[in-house]
Amino acid sequence: MSNAPQPPGTSGSAATPDGDSDLDLTLLEPVEHPPVEDWTTDLDHTISDYAQNAPEIWAELRDECPVAHTDRFGGCWFPARHEDVSSIAHDTENFSSRGIIVNDMGFRGESPVGFAPPITSDPPFHQIARKLLLGPFSPKAVAALEPATRETCRSLIREMLAEAADNDGVVDAATAYSQHIPVRVIARMLGLPETDGEKFRAFIHRILEKPGQVAVTPGETMAAYLEGVILERVDEPRDDLISYLAHADIDGMPLTPDHVFGSIALLLIAGIDTTWSAIGASLWHLAQNPRHHEQLRTQPELWPFAVEEFLRFYAPVTMARVVQEPVQVGQAEMSPGDWVLLPFPSANRDPEAFEDAETFVIDRQKNRHAAFGLGIHRCVGSNLARMELRVALQEWVAAIEAFELADEDPEAVRWATGQVRGPRELPVRILGATPPQPTTQPTGA
């Protein structure tokens, strides 16, 4: 009998649209999401009204209703303050990660492994699954990826400036620049074609932005896409992360097929629109704050602080947990099975935790931000994301001397719904730029 793992389609656990499935399929009849009238009693993070106004909603909740609730999604809590977000993130006894994406399908995985280890895993399995990924995403491993990332950014900027030149200087910085950077970086790490970016974005839209709300056929699922790739790497390993996971072991035992698939799905899904959102939101900020743009062009010593302040102020990711035991948080009495959103972006703007919390301070010296989470589930890709954000912004400000929002109204920018928030369309007008030179000879590869 072969020790090699089989892809998920052959393991008897392929996605089915019932409560035991994964998030890759949709409800046959999508649930209605009517407009919200009161965020304290009926919060819905999957509608555009939330995405467009989130910072104001968070501020209102922190002041007036620190642990909000909605009956949507089968019952979901929203603790808005840093103190509660932190205590829940650190309490893995009462709050399980078996469900991390609040959805209409009622889908929660099984503790302690979950459907996408380690992000969906609980102790003690969590640490075992996490250990497999820490090496490839450590700061020193990530540093080796910086030159190629920089070249990717330069080449995108050259293409983008050519496009802008034909369009009165106007270009969409989200679709022409920020979205491609993480797609190319993670595709290279996983060993997937960079040209499959459209497919990756379709998976992400369906799974993260509108969980369970978009129709899909089984052939279009992420499981169907990854199944063939994993089989290939099982037979013919290459120097990539899919091959590494397909042949990894835990104490000499091969990973289960579901574990291999789940971890790869996690790396594909979690690394893309999160980073895309952070880059896009930072560019949105710079477009409206030319003084900060100029400071970054002339004071390179600001970068270590500025990157962390972008992460604090525009943290894209809200995670979720499932209540395991009856537990009280503030005035809220939570019951087993309830969803709890962990809005790290709201925690990051809590005046109890940060001085001048609602002000972007480019050289903030005390910044214990929670953009990458708190507790044992700290984002495993945080070093990669931080490097991509820094390089993307450094290359942008080096090439673009001045730019502004193409539409004067900042609210015209469309922010993504769901648990990852960032601008999905960001039309800007380039007011002055010098196209970057290639640092290496094009290889044509």
Partner 1 sequence: MRIEYDRDACQGHNRCYLLAPEVFDVDDEGYAVLRITGEIPSELEEKAKLAVDNCPEYAITVVQ
Q: What minimum distance in Å lies between the beta carbon of 103 and partner 1?
A: 27
Distance CA 84, CA 78 (A): 10
Spell out the residues 6+ positions from residue 370 whose beta carbon is closer than 8 angstroms to its own. 82, 85, 86, 89, 315, 344, 347, 348
**Residue with Cβ nearer partner 1 (168 or 363):** 363
Q: Are 322 and 287 in contact (CB under 8 A)?
A: no
Among 3, 365, 439, 440, binds partner 1 (CB under 8 A): 365
CB of 427 to partner 1, least distance (A): 33
- Closest CB to partner 1 among 197 and 381? 381
Specify the stretch interacting with partner 1 by CB under 8 A; choose among 60-68, 95-103, 258-266, 373-381: 373-381
Q: Tell me the per-residue interface mask from 80 to 119 with partner 1, x by CB under 8 A, - otherwise.
A: ----------------------------------------
374: contact with partner 1 by CB under 8 A: yes
**Residue 116 per-residue DSSP state:** S
Q: Is 382 in the site for partner 1 (CB under 8 A)?
A: yes
Q: How far is the CB of 365 from partner 1 (least distance, A)?
A: 6
Exactly one of 92, 152, 221, 383 binds partner 1 (CB under 8 A); that residue is: 383
* Piece of 156-164, 209-217, 322-330, 371-379 that binds partner 1 (CB under 8 A): 371-379
Considering the complex, state which of residue 27 and residue 141 has its C-beta at the smaller distance from partner 1: 141
Write out the binding residues for partner 1, residues 178-217 only, by CB under 8 A. none
Question: What is the Cα–Cα distance from 167 to 145, expressed in whole angstroms?
Answer: 33
Q: Is 134 in the site for partner 1 (CB under 8 A)?
A: yes
Binds partner 1 by CB under 8 A, chosen from 170, 250, 376, 402: 376
The CA distance from 296 to 102, in Å, is: 38
Task: Give the angle 262-263-265 at the CA atoms, nearest 5°.
Answer: 65
Indicate the SS3 state at residue 415.
strand
Whole-number minimum distance, CB 356 to partner 1, in Å? Answer: 15
Nearest residue to 66 (alpha-carbon basis) of 404, 354, 301, 330 = 330
DSSP string, 333-392: EE-TT-EEEEEHHHHTT-TTTSTTTTS--TT-S-----TT-SGGG--TTHHHHHHHHHHH
Please give the Cα distance from 45 to 50 (Å, whole number).
6
**Residue carrying structure tokens 């970054």:** 296
Amino acid at 81: R
Residue type, 227: E
Report, in Å, the least distance between residue 81 CB and partner 1.
16
- 8 or 381: whose CB is closer to partner 1? 381
Please identify, among the stretches 12-20, 115-123, 293-301, 361-369, the one whose residues bind partner 1 according to the rule CB under 8 A: 361-369
Which stretch in 106-114, 138-146, 405-413, 418-426 sits in contact with partner 1 by CB under 8 A?
138-146
Task: Report the residue number, 22 or 308, with the smaller CB distance to partner 1.
Answer: 308
If phi > 0 it is left, if psi is from -120 to 50 it is alpha, else beta; for residue 114 that is left
Out of 375, 394, 398, 425, name the contact with partner 1 by CB under 8 A.
375
Contact 26, 212 (CB under 8 A): yes
d(CA 145, CA 186): 10
Q: Which of 369, 392, 427, 433 binds partner 1 (CB under 8 A)?
A: 369
Assigned token pair, 299? 């004071």
Binding partner 1 (rule: CB under 8 A), the pick from 58, 137, 261, 339 is: 137
| H or E segment and range at residue 142 | helix 139-143
123 binds partner 1 (CB under 8 A): no
Q: Does 120 bind partner 1 (CB under 8 A)?
A: no
Cα-Cα-Cα-Cα dihedral of 352, 355, 357, 358, to 10°? 130
Q: Segment contacting partner 1 (CB under 8 A): 174-182, 189-197, 367-375, 405-413?
A: 367-375
11 binds partner 1 (CB under 8 A): no
Considering CB under 8 A, how many residues would be counted as binding partner 1? 22
Contacts with partner 1 in 276-335 (CB under 8 A)? 304, 308
**Which residue number, 132 or 224, has a Cβ lying nearer to partner 1?**
132
Q: Which of 442, 414, 408 is nearest to 428 (CA)?
A: 408
333 sits in which H/E element: strand 332-334
Binding partner 1 (rule: CB under 8 A), the pick from 30, 139, 290, 410 is: 139
**How far apart are CB 355 and partner 1 at their closest, in Å?**
11
Structure-block tokens of residue 391: 């390089």
d(CA 15, CA 84): 34
Give me the least distance between CB of 374 and partner 1, in Å please: 6
Q: Which amino acid is at 170?
A: V
Residues 25, 204: Cα–Cα separation, whole Å: 12
Binding site for partner 1 (CB under 8 A): 131, 134-135, 137-140, 304, 308, 365-370, 372, 374-376, 378, 382-383
